Amino acid sequence: MKAFRDKYGKDQFSQNGEDGIIKEVLRRLKIKKGVAVEFGGADGFYCSNTAALREKGWTVHMYDIKAVHPYVEEKIIGPVNVNTIPECDVLSIDVDGNDYNIWRAYDGRPKIVIIEVNSDFKPGERVLNKGTSYTPMVELRLSKDYFLLAHTGNMIFVLNEYKDLFPEVSADPITEAHEYFNDSWIK
């Protein structure tokens, strides 16, 4: 929700407060170290949702179309090979387009999923071919057994089994999308 995002959002490497939100989720889940996977890792730092975890001693696997830093492995991740990635606690998907189909094809169950959406499209719009819009991604999370924690431009989902740890996140992300949807970062 916007209130959760505004309270905990903070950037070390991330773009829109994801570092602080992830930190708070991990605190509530009592996870100090684990495994994170990020594709769309770019240089391993800039706008990364997992670089801060790497700095805290996590095992982080980063992939991108072109590796420009030793932290990043050159590999294209798509729906056909997404299930070859390591099992992880945190998954960040940012491939600028096919994010929806990649998550839909993924069989893993990370505790946290951060996934990019095209926030130029408002809730209620159903777009899959120009980056996924908010609504289809919110609907997909139902079949994956996640709840929406926050929308920063990325959508941050947490496994439903941890929902009780987030009592302040109570609005329905479909019928009360205004409680989540953030477009303030779009210029």
Q: Each residue of 41-57: pLDDT tens digit?
A: 678 888 899 999 999 99
User: Sorting pLDDT into bands at 50, 70 and 90, what band is 187?
Assistant: low
- Is the residue at 133 inside a domain? yes
- Is the residue at 33 inside a domain? yes
Asked if 4 contacts 23 with a C-beta cutoff of 8 angstroms, the reply is: no
Quote the pTM value.
0.95
- Is the residue at 8 inside a domain? yes
- Is the residue at 123 inside a domain? yes
Residues near 11 by beta carbon (within 8 Å), at least 6 away in sequence = 17, 18, 19, 20
Helices and strands in the chain, H and E counts: 5, 7
- Whole domain around residue 110: which residue ranges? 2-179
- Residue predicted with more confidence, 184 or 101: 101
Q: How much is the mean pLDDT over the chain?
A: 93
Indicate which CATH number applies to the domain containing 130: 3.40.50
Cα–Cα distance for residue pair 20/24, rounded to 1 Å:
6
The token duo for 58 is 């996590």
| Count of structural domains, the chain | 1
Query: What DSSP letter does each residue of 81-103 carry, written as one string?
Result: TGGGSPP-SEEEE--SS-HHHHH
- Is the residue at 184 inside a domain? no
- Is the residue at 185 inside a domain? no
Residues near 7 by beta carbon (within 8 Å), at least 6 away in sequence = none
